[in-house]
Amino acid sequence: MLFPEGVAIDGRRGSVEPSTDKYIKRLSDLRGLFRDEAALDRAIAKGDAIAYEVIDYRKSESDLAFGTTIMMPGKVGDEYFMTRGHFHARRECGEAYYTQSGEGLLLLQSRQGEVRTVEMRPGVCAFIPPDWAHRSINTGSGKLVFVWFCATDASHDYGAIREKGMRRLVVERNGKPALVDNPNFA
Ligand SMILES: [Fe+2]
């Protein structure tokens, strides 16, 4: 039987107490995502920095799960650090991303290939409709921390984005984030 509890989330550090699971993605886990592969190789050789960390509060007997994603600042070539991006395997499941600190862009793409962005900054809770792929991008100079809420069994489908990429890229142009077409989009 499950019992209620309060979970302490630190909006600056992204810590979740208590948590049930966590994982870390380093740049070497993100091969194939960035356009400039030589820049990625150099960054990996220089120490293979952590790109982001995900901390879960997830109980399999409950329909609702939540947790944090903590994204480090950085770029590979002119592309900002990003998450892999995914659809949900259960297509009827949406999600919410509530930004706590930092700044970024949430890049979304429908099954039909329509692209939208939602600004990520403290106080903005992004609504992710069902069946839109989503990728978050840290465009700031500090950590980007957000809390996510999702169906426990929504399940990630990374395949489509891994194989085709997303239609648009977020790159730095004159010191600012800019959305450009992805020349490699299949
Ligand atoms: Fe998701």
95 C-alpha to center of ligand 1: Å?
A: 6
2 C-alpha to center of ligand 1: Å?
A: 24
116 C-alpha to center of ligand 1: Å?
A: 15
Residue 20: per-residue pLDDT:
98
186 C-alpha to center of ligand 1: Å?
A: 22
Residue 178: per-residue pLDDT:
97
138 C-alpha to center of ligand 1: Å?
A: 16
154 C-alpha to center of ligand 1: Å?
A: 8
139 C-alpha to center of ligand 1: Å?
A: 19
85 C-alpha to center of ligand 1: Å?
A: 8
Q: How does pLDDT run across 21-50, given as a tens digit for each residue?
A: 999 999 999 999 999 999 999 999 999 999
CA distance 36 to 41: 9
Confidence grade of residue 184 (pLDDT, cut at 50, 70, 90): confident
CB atoms near residue 46 (< 10 Å):
9
Which residue matches tokens 């979740």? 16
* pTM exceeds cut of 0.85: yes
Whether 149 and 66 have beta carbons less than 8 Å apart is answered as yes
Q: How does pLDDT run across 113-167, given as a tens digit for each residue?
A: 999 999 999 999 999 999 999 999 999 999 999 999 999 999 999 998 999 999 9
Residue 186: per-residue pLDDT:
75
Residue 87: per-residue pLDDT:
98
Sheet-wide strand order for 132-138: 115-120, 104-110, 132-138
134 C-alpha to center of ligand 1: Å?
A: 7
Q: How does pLDDT run across 161-173, given as a tens digit for each residue?
A: 999 999 999 999 9
Q: How does pLDDT run across 56-101, given as a tens digit for each residue?
A: 999 999 999 999 999 999 999 999 999 999 999 999 999 999 999 9
142 C-alpha to center of ligand 1: Å?
A: 23
46 C-alpha to center of ligand 1: Å?
A: 30
